[in-house]
Amino acid sequence: MKKNFTLKSIFVIFFLLCAVNMQAQDQDRTCGMLEYMEEQMQDPAFAKEYEKNQALFKARLAEVLAQGEFAQRGATITIPVAVHFPTANEADRACLEALAQNQIDILNADYTATNADNAQWAAASAFYPGLNLGSANISFCIAVSNHPVGLDPELIEGNPAVTIGYDFGGGNNADANWAGYMNFVIRPIGALGFSPLGGSITAGQAVTMDDNAFGSGAGCPGSGVVPQTPYNLGRTVTHELGHFYNLNHTFISDGAPGNCANPDADGIADTPKIPNSTYGCPANGSVAGCVPGTSSLTMNYMDYVNDACMYMFTPQQMTVVDTYVAGIAADFKPGVCTPATPSFVIAADNSEILSCPTTDTEAVFTFSYTTILDFNETATFSAVGNPAGTTVTFNPTTRNTDGNFTMTIGNLQASAQGEYTITVTGTSASETKNVDVLLKNTCTTIVCESYDSPQNLAIAITDGSGGSPGTPVANHVINIPDMATIESMTVNVDVTHTYVSDLVLQLVHPDGTTFINLWEVECGSENDLDITFDDAAGAIACAEPTVGTFAPSGSLSTFNGLEAQGDWTLFVADFFAGDTGTLNDWSITICSEQALSTEEFAFEDFTIFPNPNKGEFTVKLNSSSDSDINIDVFDIRGRRIFNNSYANNADFNEVVRLNNVQSGMYLVTVSDGNKTTTKKIIIE
């Protein structure tokens, strides 16, 4: 049963990649809303909540419509916007911020009927007697203050809420960090765009757009965000945002011939009932409606014509939007469109540290201190929540300029085991800011285990055709026999295949329902790939072959907190004809938190100094064995960055030099025969 569900899921997810081949710009417009909602409604909890919310909305809308046009609506509702470019380049920030503002300007004009091209309505209106242009009582602004902290280091207070390289929602369409914003995510998806029908601000849901269908003008070529004709005027975003605010398509059928005997698609009285979607740029009144003598409202934003030929909403469509926005207005994050005032922000660089009273004497947290708009007051640092019996020391104890500071929790040997949330506070004359860190004083450590498929699997990848995956979809299972709660993980996949942009690689958890796409039709005509997918790595650098460590299309953190044990399935699907290949091998590395073994307490006179250090430190201990002494250094995610074996002597004293490592916390594991110990170090 799990396998059947997984096979169904892989095709549901792949719809986004099949909807439009963006390499062929003359293809007709499509929209992924229906498929997206079909996928979401498979979740019974989502379906129940959605149906409840829709019932409440429809009841409220009926009340509004009974009162006539949505008049006397009060003050305009301001909607704070955040725009996310997960695959763009930070070097293009100025261009991307300008493009984001360009799209928001388009939305403000389209939703208030102030767009210049609605002048075309004068000639078209004769075909739609009594109908006027609709205008919503809303205004969009890109947030400029009170940004979420610690998500994008280049997201500065006072600057627009535009993230670059931030993995919004781990590749999903919602991110709780951005609840309260109207989110737009721009990334390569192979379709023009998609949105939930009746989106949730509290869940941090988003309108997701392809990077060829956002904004107008030249775009930002350095990041591949370039509007493409005929979807280059920002109207696709207008269309998808309409879905978020509960507007459906104006047509009954998308693609197949529509049946006028079926119910009206959008249930809105002033949009003529029409059987089919309309494409291109039809002449005014040239497409017949279902009712004799009526014409399709082809220029409506909720149809499928080219951007240059859609330019209006109807009054009742805007009543739907106003009613929906009014119902969620309390959920918008307040005050973020008001320019920032001088202040400061503190953020933890290592927000979680593992420690043990038996082996550790101190734990060191590192923080960044960032001023806003030339703030120059002195902030003094303090903390509460540390274990009883420990000491807290800050270095430096105050700051009035940008920079780092550390907090050392000392005297850990006198503390009790347990998890401690420590609140660090910066206090100046006019401002107080807090950040929480976690000290897991539980005598555990991060252990990473690798699980490999056999070499030379030679599993054939079935050729696809026309944007549809070839069947059967190539797949292979790795069984992980060990129980472990996933802290982090990496995945390596080795594929021989011509034209790797034909491929999608999908990893499915043993529960059969949780999955991510590791690779989504990336690169172009390059052949072959051997990639280690790691959330902490950079964007894929296409080559032939594409080899190295890169961030996946989705986020492996989706699996964090789940059980590792069971059958993991890798699917490899080919979507286009003419190129084939094989899955050679693959592997999974699971990092989990595990208790320290008793041998870890047996070393005599064991010390690592200095700590903190600049990447060079000494390991000293007394050994009573004849075994070589092995030293491994891992980053906080469990990836080995150093390994060496040393000849033993009773008084072991060796210097370890780490070259070009980033500042942060690392784990040093020393093994002497059957004795092993792990200590934390801070590299500044």
Give dist(CA 216, CA 228) in Å, integer.
9
CATH class as words, domain 343-442: mainly beta
Under DSSP, the state recorded for 148 is P
Question: Which comes out higher in pLDDT, residue 265 or 256?
Answer: 265
- Is 69 a residue whose pLDDT tops 90? no
How many helices and strands, by DSSP H and E, does the chain display? 7, 34
Instruction: Note the pLDDT of residue 171.
Output: 76
Neighbouring residues of 604: CB distance < 8 A, sequence distance ≥ 6: 621, 622, 624
**Least confident among 125-134, 277-286, 352-361, 631-640:** 631-640
% pLDDT > 90, the chain? 53
Banded pLDDT at 330 (limits 50, 70, 90) = confident
Instruction: Note the pLDDT of residue 660.
Output: 79
Instruction: Note the pLDDT of residue 211.
Output: 92
**Widest CA span in the chain:** 99
Instruction: Note the pLDDT of residue 497.
Output: 96
Mean pLDDT of 172-186: 92
Architecture (CATH level 2) of domain 599-683 = Sandwich (2.60)
- Is 190 a residue whose pLDDT tops 80? no
- Is 8 a residue whose pLDDT tops 50? no
Please state whether beta strands 503-508 and 546-550 pair in parallel, antiparallel, or not at all (unpaired).
unpaired
Give dist(CA 277, CA 304) in Å, integer.
6
Banded pLDDT at 595 (limits 50, 70, 90) = confident
Among left, alpha and beta (phi > 0; psi -120 to 50; other), residue 647 is beta
Helix (H) or strand (E) holding 624: none
Question: pLDDT for 200-255, tens place per residue?
Answer: 888 899 999 999 999 999 999 999 999 999 999 999 999 999 999 989 889 887 55
Question: pLDDT for 457-511, tens place per residue?
Answer: 999 999 988 667 888 999 999 999 988 899 899 999 999 999 998 898 999 999 9
Question: pLDDT for 603-613, tens place per residue?
Answer: 667 788 888 88
Torsion, Cα of 310, 311, 316, 319 (10° steps): 120
Question: pLDDT for 425-472, tens place per residue?
Answer: 999 999 999 999 999 999 888 888 889 999 999 999 999 886 678 889
Instruction: Note the pLDDT of residue 37.
Output: 67
Please state whether beta strands 503-508 and 515-520 pair in parallel, antiparallel, or not at all (unpaired).
antiparallel
Residue 349 burial by CB count (10 A; 0-12/13-18/19+): exposed, middle or buried? middle
Helix axes 33-40, 2-18, angle to 10 degrees: 160
Mean pLDDT of 15-41: 51
Identify whether the C-beta of residue 210 lies closer than 8 Å to the C-beta of residue 87. no
CATH level 3 topology of 31-269+313-331: Collagenase (Catalytic Domain) (3.40.390)
User: Is the preceding peptide bond at 86 cis, omega within 30 degrees of 0?
Assistant: no
Instruction: Note the pLDDT of residue 311.
Output: 97
Mean pLDDT of 554-562: 90
Q: How many CA atoms lie within 13 A of 406 on its CB side?
A: 18
Instruction: Note the pLDDT of residue 42.
Output: 72
Instruction: Note the pLDDT of residue 640.
Output: 74
Question: pLDDT for 395-424, tens place per residue?
Answer: 999 999 999 999 999 999 999 999 999 999
Identify whether the C-beta of residue 570 lies closer than 8 Å to the C-beta of residue 583. yes
Mean pLDDT of 323-340: 88
CATH class as words, domain 451-592: mainly beta
Instruction: Note the pLDDT of residue 13.
Output: 41
Q: Which residues pair with 651 in a beta bridge?
A: 622
Question: Which comes out higher in pLDDT, residue 521 or 355?
Answer: 355
Q: 112 φ, ψ to 5°?
A: -115, 10
Question: Which comes out higher in pLDDT, residue 216 or 664?
Answer: 216
- Is 55 a residue whose pLDDT tops 70? no
Question: pLDDT for 91-122, tens place per residue?
Answer: 999 999 999 999 999 999 999 999 999 999 99
Domain boundaries, the chain: 31-269+313-331, 343-442, 451-592, 599-683
Among left, alpha and beta (phi > 0; psi -120 to 50; other), residue 123 is alpha
The residue behind tokens 């409202």 is 297
Among 359, 372, 426, CA closest to 397: 426
- Is 564 a residue whose pLDDT tops 60? yes
% pLDDT > 70, the chain? 86
Amino acid, single-letter form, for residue 675: K
Banded pLDDT at 10 (limits 50, 70, 90) = very low
- Tell me what the pLDDT averaged over the chain comes to: 86
Instruction: Note the pLDDT of residue 119.
Output: 95
Instruction: Note the pLDDT of residue 57.
Output: 65
Question: Which comes out higher in pLDDT, residue 29 or 530?
Answer: 530
Question: pLDDT for 150-167, tens place per residue?
Answer: 888 888 888 999 999 998
Take residue 219 and report the two structure tokens written for it. 């775009």
Give dist(CA 609, CA 620) in Å, integer.
8
Give dist(CA 375, CA 218) in Å, integer.
37
CATH topology identical between 343-442 and 451-592? no
Does residue 289 sit in helix, strand or coil? coil
Mean pLDDT of 316-330: 88
Torsion, Cα of 174, 179, 182, 183 (10° steps): -40
Cβ neighbour number for residue 609 with a 10 Å cutoff? 10
